């Protein structure tokens, strides 16, 4: 809801008032929401535990767990698309002489991502975590690059919608793979690495798209960023398959 309604509201404020008004309202919403979360009863009720069983062996760090590093490298690729789309939406809107279109594109992307996550959660998807992750990342890159190659408002909306359908399932599979591969005592750290990889990819994607859009059209820059993401994923996927085969079972079966 945040990522679907937020861009539409921001676009409306930009059209009716100014970008500054949209920025101020966004900052106020973040501040109020964070404050309410911190002071909520359930949040304040959380307490950590320092209890540890000295008889148990020390937990293995996620980065030292077989197959985990390839997973975080693969999920970096969709992060690039996420970062690029944040810039591609306003760039495409300006190119189409319709500034409000930026909010529509971002809302379509986020809304379809939410829908994709809900659908993915209701289905029993075949294949291992590795297979699911690679397939979904490939689909995301194809849809994003196709939207850039075709160009135009309609292609942008359709492409953003199809790409968004893949995003939430990718995050779901990435976090589940992190849980499956790692010791239960370090799963918070493992999930944090997945989150960090996605955010790092988003930062890189914004840089790559920004550089490309200086020398190419917005759609072509999006396709170029998707190609860069494909290169990153392509380097990591062989290691992912190799660790999967070496384990002798799917990441799903490795869950404790």
Task: Tokens for 203, please give them.
Answer: 């930062």
- Co-location of 26 and 84 in the same domain: no
Q: Exposed, middle or buried by CB within 10 Å (0-12, 13-18, 19+), for 139?
A: middle
- Co-location of 3 and 88 in the same domain: no
Nearest CA to 103 among 114, 92, 117, 115? 92
The sign of the torsion formed by the CA atoms of 64, 82, 203, 7 equals negative
- Co-location of 119 and 19 in the same domain: no
What is the count of structural domains for the chain? 2
Q: What is the domain-level CATH number for residue 127?
A: 1.20.1250.20
What lies within 8 Å, CB to CB, of 97 at 6+ separation is none
Nearest CA to 88 among 77, 75, 76, 101? 101
Domain ranges, residue 17: 1-32
- Co-location of 138 and 208 in the same domain: yes
Rounded Cα distance, 244 and 131, in Å: 10
- Co-location of 22 and 116 in the same domain: no
- Co-location of 131 and 227 in the same domain: yes
- Co-location of 193 and 243 in the same domain: yes
- Co-location of 76 and 159 in the same domain: yes
Rounded Cα distance, 226 and 229, in Å: 5
- Co-location of 9 and 96 in the same domain: no
- Is 9 within the bounds of a domain? yes
**Predicted local confidence at residue 101, as pLDDT:** 87
DSSP state of 250: -
- Co-location of 7 and 96 in the same domain: no
Q: 């380097």: which residue's tokens?
A: 235
- Is 37 within the bounds of a domain? no
- Is 90 within the bounds of a domain? yes
- Co-location of 91 and 24 in the same domain: no
- Co-location of 114 and 1 in the same domain: no
Give per-residue pLDDT as tens, 93-114.
898 888 878 888 988 998 999 9
Rounded Cα distance, 238 and 22, in Å: 44
pTM value is 0.81
Segments in the chain below pLDDT 50: 250-256
- Is 101 within the bounds of a domain? yes
- Is 55 within the bounds of a domain? no
- Is 117 within the bounds of a domain? yes
**Predicted local confidence at residue 48, as pLDDT:** 66
- Is 105 within the bounds of a domain? yes
CB 79 within 8 Å of CB 228: no
- Is 108 within the bounds of a domain? yes
């Amino acid at each position: 809801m945040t990522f679907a309604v937020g861009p539409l509201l921001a676009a409306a404020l930009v059209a009716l008032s100014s970008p500054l008004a949209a920025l101020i309202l966004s900052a106020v919403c973040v501040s109020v929401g964070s404050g309410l979360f911190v002071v909520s009863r359930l949040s304040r009720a959380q307490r950590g535990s320092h209890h540890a069983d000295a008889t148990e062996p020390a937990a293995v760090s996620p980065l030292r767990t077989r197959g985990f590093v390839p997973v975080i490298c693969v999920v970096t690729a969709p992060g690039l698309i996420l970062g690029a789309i944040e810039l591609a939406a306003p760039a495409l809107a300006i190119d189409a002489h319709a500034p409000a279109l930026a909010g529509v594109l971002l809302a379509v992307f986020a809304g379809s991502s939410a829908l994709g996550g809900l659908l993915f959660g209701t289905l029993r998807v075949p294949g291992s975590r590795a297979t699911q992750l690679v397939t979904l990342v490939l689909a995301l890159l194809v849809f994003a690059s196709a939207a850039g190659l075709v160009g135009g408002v309609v292609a942008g909306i359709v492409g953003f919608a199809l790409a968004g359908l893949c995003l939430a399932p990718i995050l779901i599979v990435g976090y589940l793979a992190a849980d499956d591969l790692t010791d239960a005592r370090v799963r918070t750290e493992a999930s944090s690495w997945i989150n960090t990889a996605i955010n790092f990819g988003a930062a890189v994607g914004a840089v790559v798209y920004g550089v490309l859009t200086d020398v190419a059209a917005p759609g072509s820059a999006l396709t170029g960023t998707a190609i860069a993401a494909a290169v990153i994923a392509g380097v990591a996927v062989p290691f992912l398959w190799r660790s999967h085969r070496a384990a002798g079972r799917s990441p799903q079966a490795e869950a404790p």
